[in-house]
Amino acid sequence: MAYQEKQLQEISRQFQIYGEILHAETLKIGHINETYSATYDQGGMRVRYIHQKINKGVFKNPVAVMKNVMRVTTHIRRKLETAGARDITRRSLVVIPTRNGQSHHVGRDGEFWRTFVFVEGVQSLEAVQSPDQALQAGRAFGEFQSLLVDLPGGRLHETIPAFHDTRKRFGALQQAIAKDHYNRARSARPEIEFALNRAGLVGVILDAMAKGKIPERVTHNDTKFNNVMLDTLTGEAKCVVDLDTVMPGCALYDFGDMVRTTTSPTLEDELDLSKVKMHLPIFKQLAEGYLSTAGAFLTPAEKSLMAFSGKLITFEIGMRFLTDFLSGDTYFRIHRPDHNLDRCRTQFKLVESIEQQEKVMQKFVDGLDRGTARKSKRRAGQGS
């Protein structure tokens, strides 16, 4: 444990938790924040909480992060209560305030800590194991966006500015190629050509947003499958977690990252590229789940780019891996030589697979949308 139990006990006393802390253990979830599960004795019952230290290296403004988290979780909980939903504390994260009513505690060492209610009876998986899990993931992230469409109080803070600015990511790659400080460009020539040949992709969604054709929305911005908590008994999606990147964004970027992380069964650094493929049955379930909860608020322009968004975000992540490889592996942690180049190759292979199936993917989305519209018209006719 990075923090000793005695230190965690001191931190735990800063929050509105009543009972004796029995023990704590490190949770290996996520790659950014330091997370612990702590068990307390409350009146003879064992109750668990999450204590988490915010990574100030990644999130330069932890106060802004917590303001966003509080606004988002409070709003979602109120909407669920208004709708008469049950099991609310398992459907949205609950922040435990400090003794003086704050959302976080700043320790003597200047570190930022926060505490959540531990969501029991759920699990997170690193990869989709069935089409139904893809359906659940799509439904969960679509519902998350839907619940935040009417978030009051003005624009959220940008916790990581220009996070999905694909034009800037492409510019950074061009600079890394031109500088080539580590003489690595020659070993990545096919990947460099692959990226440069797709320069036309990077501005499609950005330009549509700039022209007002696609609206800015409150989005999650890290829609990996393991950020959906599934009920261990029913398999139903219960809760979306890892809210530090919830900020203004584009709904398509969220869906695109779902496509990237759920539709290919391989790891992000798979060496056998013959295994890397976008599986259409998984995509269909993902899209169906997503539109079942997000379809009512998405515009026709957004829906028309759903298949494209999977290609774009996969391309963006591939560019980032390639840029880091050419720049000396300074951002992403590597575990072997050429690790970032291997990651890049995996993403670009997935881009190719999506390109080969993009028309079929979008045709399926369009069919779902038309089917939903017909059902809505029938319901309207029955009600008149």
Q: Tell me if 136 sits within 8 A of 223, measured CB to CB.
A: no
DSSP secondary structure letters along 181-195: TTS-GGGGHHHHHHH
Q: What are phi and psi of 176, to 5 degrees?
A: -65, -35
User: Where in the sequence of the chain do the CATH 3.90.1200.10 domains occur?
Assistant: 131-375
Element (H, E) at 358: helix 339-383
Q: Domain 9-118 falls in which CATH fold? A: Phosphorylase Kinase; domain 1 (3.30.200)
Summarised one tens digit per residue, pLDDT across range 63-119 is 999 999 999 999 999 999 999 999 999 999 999 999 999 999 998 889 999 999 999
Q: Tell me if 20 sits within 8 A of 41, measured CB to CB.
A: yes
- Residue-wise pLDDT tens for the chain (384 aa)? 455 777 888 888 999 998 888 888 887 655 568 889 999 999 999 999 999 999 898 899 999 999 999 999 999 999 999 999 999 999 999 999 999 999 999 988 899 999 999 999 999 988 888 999 999 999 999 999 999 999 999 999 999 999 999 999 999 999 999 999 999 999 999 999 999 999 999 999 999 999 999 999 999 999 999 999 999 999 999 999 999 999 999 999 999 999 999 999 888 899 999 999 999 999 999 999 999 999 999 999 999 999 999 999 999 999 999 999 999 998 888 899 999 999 999 999 999 999 999 999 999 999 997 766 555 455 545 554
User: Where in the sequence of the chain do the CATH 3.30.200.20 domains occur?
Assistant: 9-118
Q: Tell me if 139 sits within 8 A of 293, measured CB to CB.
A: yes
- pLDDT on residue 377: 53
Measure the CA–CA gap between 84 and 80, rounded to whole angstroms. 6
Q: What are phi and psi of 172, to 5 degrees?
A: -65, -40
Is 131-375 a domain of CATH 3.90.1200.10?
Answer: yes
DSSP 3-state of 256? helix
- pLDDT on residue 384: 45
Measure the CA–CA gap between 46 and 19, rounded to whole angstroms. 10
- pLDDT on residue 378: 56
Measure the CA–CA gap between 52 and 204, rounded to whole angstroms. 38
Q: What is the pTM of this model?
A: 0.90
Q: Tell me if 38 sits within 8 A of 10, measured CB to CB.
A: no
Measure the CA–CA gap between 318 and 138, rounded to whole angstroms. 23
Summarised one tens digit per residue, pLDDT across range 314-339 is 999 999 999 999 999 988 888 999 99
* Short-list 7, 2, 9, CA closest to 28: 2
Strand-strand pairing, 105-106 and 122-123: unpaired
- pLDDT on residue 380: 45
- pLDDT on residue 30: 54
- pLDDT on residue 69: 98
- pLDDT on residue 2: 52
